[in-house]
Structure 1
Amino acid sequence: MSVIDTNDIGLRTLIHDYPKVVAKFTSENCAICELLAPSFEKYSLDPRYSGIAFLRLNSDENPVARQMMAQRVAPFFVAYHRGRMLECDTLQHEQEVTDLLERLLDYRSVGAN
Structure 2
Amino acid sequence: MEVIEVKDQDLASTLSNNSKVVIKYYADWCGSCRLFNPKYKRLAKDERFQDVTFLNINAEHNPEARSKAGVSNLPSFAIVENGEFKETIFTSKEEAVVELLNKLN
TM norm structure 1: 0.85
Deviations 1:48-76 (CA, angstroms, capped at 9, x unpaired): 11100000010111121343465721111
Question: Relative to 1, partners in 2 of residues 1:27 and 1:79: Cα closer, same or farther, differing over 3 Å?
Answer: same
Instruction: Give distance in 2, aligned partners of 1:71 and 1:98.
Output: 19
Instruction: Give distance in 2, aligned partners of 1:64 and 1:72.
Output: 13
Asked if 1 retains the 8 angstrom alpha-carbon contact of 2:69 and 2:85, the reply is no
Q: Which moved more, 1:55-64 or 1:69-78?
A: 69-78
TM norm structure 2: 0.91
Q: CA deviation at 1:89?
A: 1.7
Gaps of 5+ in 1: 106-113
- The aligned length equals 105
Q: Aligned runs of 1:10-49 on 2, under 5 Å?
A: 10-49=10-49
SS at match of 1:56: strand
State whether structure 2 residue 96 is matched by structure 1 residue 96. Answer: yes
Instruction: Give distance in 2, aligned partners of 1:67 and 1:79.
Output: 14
CA RMSD of aligned residues (A): 1.5
Gaps of 5+ in 2: none
Instruction: Give distance in 1, aligned partners of 2:67 and 2:35.
Output: 24
Q: Aligned runs of 1:30-109 on 2, under 5 Å?
A: 30-68=30-68, 72-105=72-105
Name the aligned partner's letter for residue 56 of structure 1: N
Deviations 1:18-61 (CA, angstroms, capped at 9, x unpaired): 11000111012111111111110001111111100000010111
Name the aligned partner's letter for residue 84 of structure 1: E
Paired position in structure 2 for 1:110: none
Q: Percent identity?
A: 30
